Structure 1
Amino acid sequence: MNGFQPFGVSPEILKAIADMGFEEPSPIQKEAIPKILAGLDVIGQAQTGTGKTAAFGIPIVERVDPDRSEVQALVLTPTRELAIQVSGEIRRIAKYKKVKALPVYGGQSIGHQIRALRLGVHVVIGTPGRLIDHIERGTLRLDGVRILVLDEADEMLDMGFIEDIERILKALPTERQTLLFSATMPEEIRRLAARYMKHPETVKVTRETVTAPSIEQVYYKVLEKNKVDALCRILDTEETELGIIFCRTKKGVDELTEQLQARGYLVDALHGDLSQAQRDKVMADFRSGRIEYLIATDVAARGLDISNVSHVINFDIPQDPESYVHRIGRTGRAGKKGIAITLVTPREMKQLRVIEQVAKTKIQPRSLPTAEETNERRLAAFLAEVREAMEGAVHPLAERAAATLLDEYDTEKLVRGLVHLALKDDLLLELDPGYDFGETGAEAGMVRFFLNVGKNINITPKRLVDELSQLAGITPEEIGRIDIFDRFTFVEVSESAAPFVYEALKQGRLFGTRVFVEPAKPKARRS
């Protein structure tokens, strides 16, 4: 049963939430969603990363009527980055409903926004300045708005938007539901709430307890297509007593369990679809060491109390810092050493930084073991097995086969063939880099990319270096020459970093603006 079912939201929303990997509501969602669905005004005191977007996004999608082609909900955000983020989340929640959401912000063509509004939008998410622009042009009609959200109200106050907010509030119908979310509640925000909200209910979620335990925490940067191969390398090189591998969804748990079992790893699945008898058997196998790794969702692992877990591995990065802290707290118990390992794709680097910031911790980067290192360990393990087998009794059939082969081949050739037969399916190749960028006109050892943005979005070399370091998890030293023009940019990065930069930017955003990236053509190089 999905933990969101008791809210009484439609099956389409429950299905979308499951796709997003949400199994249980976060504290802010548990408190706020029923009140918002009941039509009450709500003040939510919560920080970024607590799940507050879904706390108002789920009720908005539930209550909007897709058959009415007018704006029915308005969300005010302080920045275009947040407007894009909130819009993306509402669209994911509305995946199976015909509810259209549109982000509206400065720096993007107003003509494009006007066309989208004319075609019909149900939810508008925007920054105050651009929203006022549309209101004054008559391109955004607000008479159908029934729900207003002020998101990160304290940030909007700090940025000097309070007068703009009041202008928008006065243009809205008085008969509406108002929701206000803010990490802090300065006096001016309280006055705003008193003036424009009707008997608001307050929901408060604090993060004082969200602190990561003092165990070793590392992350490996991986490409999405290499995740399973990368995980196998890590499993092969870690000395594990017992480990828990976390996936975001039940489907993900089943798929990874199947893939690892097929490769010979001692793993089993734990999720909400198992009967109590199945769950008990898996846990008995885990505690006795018959399986080394439990593959689980957050919900399925709740309440587990096992003292000798040496490794927690986040195959999928947690959706919020609280989940991260709960997951990694399952290792290093009873004074024992533990390690928490997280696999991070380029698009998840920002989420990793949020976890570090909120959980007040530092997660150290590690390089994946090479094929050569992993193969050396596998070879050592094989030789140990052979030596152990030579000390024990030999089956008569094995002796007969050995005698036959020794008659046909010399000893050295025979041993070489047997070792090759035993190891040929186990020895690894280097991971597929994923992309062949070809000749791009870069310096030796570098790849040169073309970006379709430049001075028009205020790119500077320093801003670009900082942003690429954050987005792709690379060091500034891996970034080479940068050429910035009015509407495009060329940037060189090291060959090893290039796949991560490409994947981070492909269909992604730079400073909140959608960006197109491709390998540069050699002739485009300037001297």
Structure 2
Amino acid sequence: MSNQTKIHSALAEAMSARSYITLTPVQEAVLKIEDSNSDLLVSAQTGSGKTLAFGISIATTLLAEKMEFDRPKIPLAIIIAPTRELALQVRKELEWLYVRTKAQFASCVGGMDPRAERRTLESGAHIVVGTPGRLRDHIERGVLRLSDIKAVVLDEADEMLDMGFREDLTFILGKAPVERRTLLFSATVPTQIVKLAKTYQKDSVRISVSSKKSQHLDISYHAIKIQPSDRDKAVINLLRYHDVSGAIVFCNTRAAVTHLASRLTNRGFSVVALSGELSQKERNFALQSMRAGKANVCVATDVAARGIDLPNLELVIHADLPQSNEAMLHRSGRTGRAGRKGVSVVLIPYRNFKKVERMFDSNGIEPIWVNPPSADQIIEKDRISLLKSELLTSPADASEVEIAQKILQKFPIEAIASAFVRSQMAGKSAPEELTVSNAIGPADFSNSSWFELSVGYRDNAEPRWLVAMLCRVGNMDKSLIGDIQIHNSLTFVEIASNGVQQLLAEIGPDFMLEEKIQIKQMQAAPERIQLVRKRKFSSSRRSSNHSGSSELFTKKTVKLSLENKKKPKSKKSKADSGELDFKKNKGKPKKANTEKTNFENQAMYKQAPHDLKLDQSNKSQDKKRKRLAFRQSGKNNAKKRKISTTMGGGKAPLRRSKV
């Protein structure tokens, strides 16, 4: 083992017993630090051996030259992890690493019995491992004392900040002694991690072993463009095609996890679901099912999957897109751990293609653009795996030969072979048919082709309608469509080079699109033509129409005003005016004959509509002026009453006299 002399002898013996021959890059980097008591800010990929790295680093701080710890009293080191699973995993790793030092450990995590944790802390522990919330609770209750702390380790620090533990971390670090070591381990180093390091570390040494090239060596990234409605089908086909012993599928919401887990279970997959709504007992049962091989597919959210360590995960599927660049790295880091190879597949809806492309560029990833496995590819791979089955290639026992001969004598060979195939395919989901384009990867317009369409402005052609039709008929993505030139009777469309064959194959030999629109491939790009579209109406015609419309509008206005106008007041009898005559009619109204009056009024309006409209407007203005004057007089009277009341010297307020 390289750098064995720099490792504490008790830890080196434990590692040798575990057959540790070589150290990982992050473990090597930690041992190369000259000052073994300096603060560290370490950036390393998930699954790169960070637990052993900080375990080795703090050993000299805690033990110095001693081989064993003294009797446990107040904790000497505290290790903070974002999730209970990661905290328990860290404790398990450190227990065998410090087995020869007689170190006593205590765990303080959410979901466990706090009374049992309190008893363990009161009995004494050298190293405490826990989650931020539970650790803070024990500190506030006075059970966990940090007066003798020599080292504080934050594992997956970026994850804890993303999960909203900043306040808890600040509280814990503030309670720890100033003279201590602070080690920050993180997969990424965003700005908030740098600020945390400046606040709580002194002259920290920064170690980065997660370069954009090295962190993806063991992970093969595949990018697949799909229709959003084909997401579940694509996940099913990927699981069938890869046929791995362990896979994890990431979704963004609890509802999506529940839906996809139910869908996969109904299709015959052994599935467990991890989301925030599960209790600790349910989470432990699900993880144990994956570790024992009873389930081989885990559907989880980002938060629920943080910190879990599932062995033999060979496939990661991003059913929903990651929310950030760091989330993509954390998800994919579940595979390709400890030198093992893994595959990370990102399912990309067409509308999010540019967003994911920027994610890949930011993370320094060069994905392999592929199509989702088709039904034919899955069936062909099943046939190959059947022919290579160990059941056929392994030698038969004597007891098996005897029964095999009896089967051959009783049944034909074809029936026996069919029975073998059915037994091997039993429980496997049938592959799904997806609607996908054969165009893979980003659109390439460096060697594009032009097509001529027999439709133009005179047919009301517009780019949005043309793009939708070409995507629908050509079964292609709109990103493969480039420049569009629309003329009076023709339209020229540019198609990317990796979409030409797809379009030609879909339209067939008739070269016919929808609504009898002809399409043909051009030999060269069309010339740019400045198109001048004729106006529908000349200025004289437009003005005449305008005048006609205004005349019609005037007539309609006059007619409406005539219908709504009130009759002019005149001195008439009660019977003529339509008033009630209770004496003669015994309370019943007598209708007045107003047909003649209305007819005369209409005739009068037709003769002089303009004067009548002016007269009508003048009357309405007079009414408005009278109303305003009446309101103003009321306000003035109110002011006078107020003044009189104020000057009355305690007398009763003046009342308005009744008229």
So what's the TM-score if we normalise by structure 2?
0.36
Q: Which has the higher helix share?
A: 2
Query: Rg larger in 1 or in 2?
Result: 2
So what's the TM-score if we normalise by structure 1?
0.44
